[in-house]
Structure 1
Amino acid sequence: MIECSPCLLISASLLLTFILLYRVSQSFRYYSRVTFFYLCIFLHGMECCVTQIPFYFLGWGAYWIFYSFYYWCWWTGIRVEVRDFDKHLEHLKGPAIVVCNHQSAIDVFSMSAVFPPRGTVMMKKSLQWIPFFNITSWLARSIYIDRFNREKALEQVEYCSKLVLERKLKVWVFPEGTRYRDQGMLPFKKGAFNIAVKAQVPIVPIVCSNYSPFYSKKDKYFHSDGEVIIQVLPAVETQGLSLDDVNDLCERVRNDMLKAYDKITPEAAERMATKRAKKQQ
């Protein structure tokens, strides 16, 4: 008679319970996948504390971080199609401001599919205190801003525009300022556009289709058959513009992004519906 140790029995019971809950409970499956996704972000951040070092000296910004993160997320089942990256961003010379709609943590994965060479990110100042993440972001030459300090807003614009020109990097910004999980986009904050105009560098809009067909924090689902379309729009020049032109510039870019969003979101949803229909046959 084969005897099993209590630890082995407990482990087997926990594993079977996990598998059962994962198969029958949508909420359990959601929390499991989201937890593992954040764990991948954390572990990848630890890894990049070392692997990012040579790219810091090469001046690559965060390109290696996002490029390598794409391969950490194969298990999500999300398929991404990027359009016009080579045409509008890959070969764009010099610094630029890249603006993209902001939906959820899944944006990190989307960014990894379309992150520009010699690109970095702009993030809120509080993130610089997160262990490992702060070292990696420093090696990526990230730009921190205090978005709650309105009194020093002009100083921050001057500071950021100076860094953009000095480092000659393409800076990724979410102009909505926070995640928007519904359809469409929030009104854009003007910080990124002020910086672009002050530095006289182009703005490159990037639009991701809505994630709701496969991911929803509100309804607690994270399916493994996601389809995302990312559209890179033509660069918008700021040469000759002043800060007085920022309102119109901001609204024009947002309208162009909304048009692209309204085009690619139904297309991505239709792809998922077709995929699921074939799976059920």
Structure 2
Amino acid sequence: MWDFWTVLLLFLFAVFLILYNFSTAFHYYFRISFFYFTVLLHGMEVCVTMIPSWLGGKGADYVFHSFYYWCKWTGIHTTVYNYEITQVDGPAVVICNHQSSLDIISMASIWPKHCAVMMKRILAYVPFFNLGAYFSGTIFIDRYNRERAMASVDYCASELKNRNLKLWVFPEGTRNRDGGFIPFKKGAFNIAVRAQIPIIPVVFSDYRTFYSKPGKYFKNDGEVVIRALEPISTKGLTLDDVNELSDKCRDLMLAAYREVTAEAWKRTAERRGETVSGKKIE
């Protein structure tokens, strides 16, 4: 005879299976919660395991290389073009479009050699995450304080050259879930110009075929196409050229975004046995 608790656990498990398989919202909340739990566990792990990488001055290399394997369960498949561009030696500023927290998975697929990240200062107070970020050489900035932000530009420029690091920046400054790109902020371009180092644009395809926070879905057959573009030199440029440089990078990335998104949507349709959607790519 089964006891009460065994019956209750079996009942709850049956309810879970039904909701997980038939409720899109429940499926979304469970998967995204487990994703954040994965991030937390990984953050705890790298607080110890990435110390050798930190001592070697390799930035966040170990963090993202290991995270790639931690997130295999998500079912997100990535296709990377021009990976070798991001792996060249020497300092650079890597810029990329920003869609969601799932960008971490895409980043792990093309993470540049000897690269660090720039983050909002408030993230420096998140337990475990902050220690892992410190070992990753993360540069925290106060975007709401102009004086401190400008000081960060000079600090970043000197650090990248002195430590021979690349810096990963999301120039949109915030997540854009609606497709296309929102206007770029100038911080990344100011840093590249001050340091006279190249900019390497990286483009992720649109996630909306498999993930949407507003739509409350997170499917397990994600397809992301990633492309690194040719480096853009900043030699001889001054801060007066930043606006034009920003617009040039954005135009190149937007054109590539449309191409990689069309490919990702086609790959997704083929995996699902569907016809390719005629939906306009913004």
Q: TM-score, normalised by structure 1?
A: 0.95
Q: Matches of 1:13 and 1:269 in 2, distance apart?
A: 39
Counterpart residue identity of residue 249, structure 1:
L
Q: Matches of 1:130 and 1:152 in 2, distance apart?
A: 21
1:7 offset after TM fit, Å?
2.6
Residue 249 in structure 1 maps to residue 245 in structure 2: yes
Q: Matches of 1:20 and 1:255 in 2, distance apart?
A: 46
Contact 2:117–2:168, Cα closer than 8 Å, also in 1: yes
Q: Matches of 2:206 and 2:50 in 1, distance apart?
A: 31
Q: Matches of 2:127 and 2:208 in 1, distance apart?
A: 31
Q: What does residue 62 of structure 1 align with?
A: 60
Secondary structure of 2:140's counterpart equals: strand
Q: Matches of 2:259 and 2:40 in 1, distance apart?
A: 34
Deviations, residues 37-84 of structure 1 (Å, cap 9, x unaligned): 111001000000010111111111101100100111111111100000
1:213 offset after TM fit, Å?
0.5
The match for 1:105 among 97, 101, 104 is 101
**Unaligned residue ranges in structure 1 (runs of 5+):** none
Length, aligned pairs only: 275
Q: What does residue 5 of structure 2 align with?
A: 7
Q: Matches of 1:127 and 1:236 in 2, distance apart?
A: 30
The match for 2:22 among 24, 32, 44 is 24
| Greater mean alpha carbon deviation, residues 11-20 or residues 233-242 | 11-20
Secondary structure of 2:183's counterpart equals: coil
Residue 210 in structure 1 maps to residue 206 in structure 2: yes
Q: What does residue 89 of structure 1 align with?
A: 86
Counterpart residue identity of residue 244, structure 1:
D
Q: What does residue 161 of structure 1 align with?
A: 157
1:154 offset after TM fit, Å?
2.4
Contact 2:119–2:141, Cα closer than 8 Å, also in 1: yes
Q: What does residue 255 of structure 2 align with?
A: 259
Counterpart residue identity of residue 64, structure 2:
F
Q: Matches of 1:98 and 1:169 in 2, distance apart?
A: 11
Secondary structure of 1:230's counterpart equals: strand
Q: TM-score, normalised by structure 2?
A: 0.95
Contact 2:171–2:185, Cα closer than 8 Å, also in 1: yes
Q: Matches of 1:127 and 1:152 in 2, distance apart?
A: 16
Q: What does residue 220 of structure 1 align with?
A: 216
Counterpart residue identity of residue 135, structure 1:
L
1:209 offset after TM fit, Å?
0.3
Counterpart residue identity of residue 37, structure 2:
L
CA RMSD of aligned residues (A): 1.2
1:188 offset after TM fit, Å?
0.3
Secondary structure of 1:144's counterpart equals: strand
Secondary structure of 1:4's counterpart equals: coil
Q: Matches of 1:36 and 1:170 in 2, distance apart?
A: 30
**Unaligned residue ranges in structure 2 (runs of 5+):** 275-282
1:225 offset after TM fit, Å?
0.9
Q: What does residue 141 of structure 2 align with?
A: 145
Counterpart residue identity of residue 108, structure 1:
I
Q: Matches of 2:86 and 2:254 in 1, distance apart?
A: 19
Q: What does residue 114 of structure 2 align with?
A: 118
Counterpart residue identity of residue 31, structure 1:
Y
Contact 2:89–2:113, Cα closer than 8 Å, also in 1: no
Contact 2:116–2:166, Cα closer than 8 Å, also in 1: yes
Counterpart residue identity of residue 102, structure 2:
I
Point out 4+ residue stretches in structure 1 off by more than 4 angstroms.
none
Q: What does residue 268 of structure 1 align with?
A: 264
Contact 2:86–2:110, Cα closer than 8 Å, also in 1: no
Q: Matches of 2:5 and 2:149 in 1, distance apart?
A: 58
Counterpart residue identity of residue 227, structure 1:
E
Q: Matches of 2:137 and 2:166 in 1, distance apart?
A: 11
